[in-house]
Structure 1
Amino acid sequence: MARRTYSGGCHCGKVRYEATFDLDAGTTRCNCSFCGKARYWGAQVQPEDFRLLSPEDQVGLYQFGAKVGNHRFCPACGIASYSHGYVEELGGAYCSINVATLDDVDPTVLAKVSVQYLDGRNDRWDETPAEFRHL
């Protein structure tokens, strides 16, 4: 698969975005305290390839810990659609969309996408956690 533009958003439609990336480049699942509870399934997108279509002041913001990540969600339905921030271990500035919030992607395509498991719980972002089947 090549780079293409996907659209996505929350359940109620208040938060909408477009992102251009190659889904075949892989996705991530992390065991950190946020991703583990949210069941966040991320796909990295270059910040310049992400376009928020909703007014930013209508998108909720959640930060924790060192506050380097900006977890964005819909205040109406609660769905976390994307995050962005700056983490040196991830290559600096990043944007991550929640793959589960993509519109109109065939489930058979999603089933074939590779997943890299990250040990964010222990700040070992370049390692796979000992257990990841629950992610």
Structure 2
Amino acid sequence: MENRRTYHGSCHCGAVKFRISSPEISSGVRCNCSICQRKGALMTPYIYSPAELVIEAGTEQLSVYQFGTGVAKHYFCKVCGIYPFHQTLRKAGYYRVNVGCIDGLEPLTMPVEVFDGRSL
């Protein structure tokens, strides 16, 4: 079993707060699908179960955007508009997290993998 740690994060205004149990996050993933390309966020390389991503505050401040098949759910803070996480298309009900919303991480210095979501 890999070493896990708890990361804390939030949207920009702090209305939405969450924590994840994760292996060390030292890189990120960018997707080239239509929504990910436009939002430009660096996502965690790991996919988290609902037990691993816990929303600690602000559930009522989250809005969801769905398109296409409606399987993926992209969550945004209603107050500041920041995207903290989404439920994935490839593993329904599981999450990827916006690295820029995780306390203490610097997404601009991380190695990046590109995922070809456009071709799905």
My pick for the range that moved more, 92-101 or 3-12, is: 92-101
Which moves more between the two structures, 49-58 or 67-76? 49-58
Shift of 1:70: 0.8
**Fraction of identical pairs, as percent:** 32
Looking at structure 1, the residues matched to 102 and 26 of structure 2 have their Cα atoms a distance apart, in angstroms, of: 16
Aligned length: 117
Which structure has the greater CA radius of gyration? 1
Which of residues 54, 68, 87 is equivalent to 1:51? 54
Larger helix proportion of the pair: 1
Contact 1:70 1:85 in 2 (8 A): yes
In structure 2, do the counterparts of structure 1 residues 42 and 7 end up closer, same or farther at CA, with 3 Å as the change threshold?
Answer: same
TM-score under structure 1 length normalisation? 0.75
Runs of at least 5 residues in structure 2 that lack an aligned partner in the other structure: none
Gaps of 5+ in 1: 124-135
Cα RMSD after superposing both structures: 2.3
Which residue of structure 2 lines up, in the alignment, with residue 23 of structure 1?
Answer: 24
Render the CA deviation track for 1:85-135: whole Å, top value 9, x for unaligned. Answer: 452xx5x54211000111123x3x862x44321111121xxxxxxxxxxxx
Over 3 Å counting, the alpha-carbon distance change for 1:13 and 1:115 in structure 2 is same
- Equivalence for 1:69: 72
Identify which of 73, 76, 82 aligns with 2:85: 82
| Deviation of the 1:58 alpha carbon | 2.0
> Could you tell me the TM-score, scaled by structure 2's length?
0.84
SS of 2:100 mapped into structure 1: helix
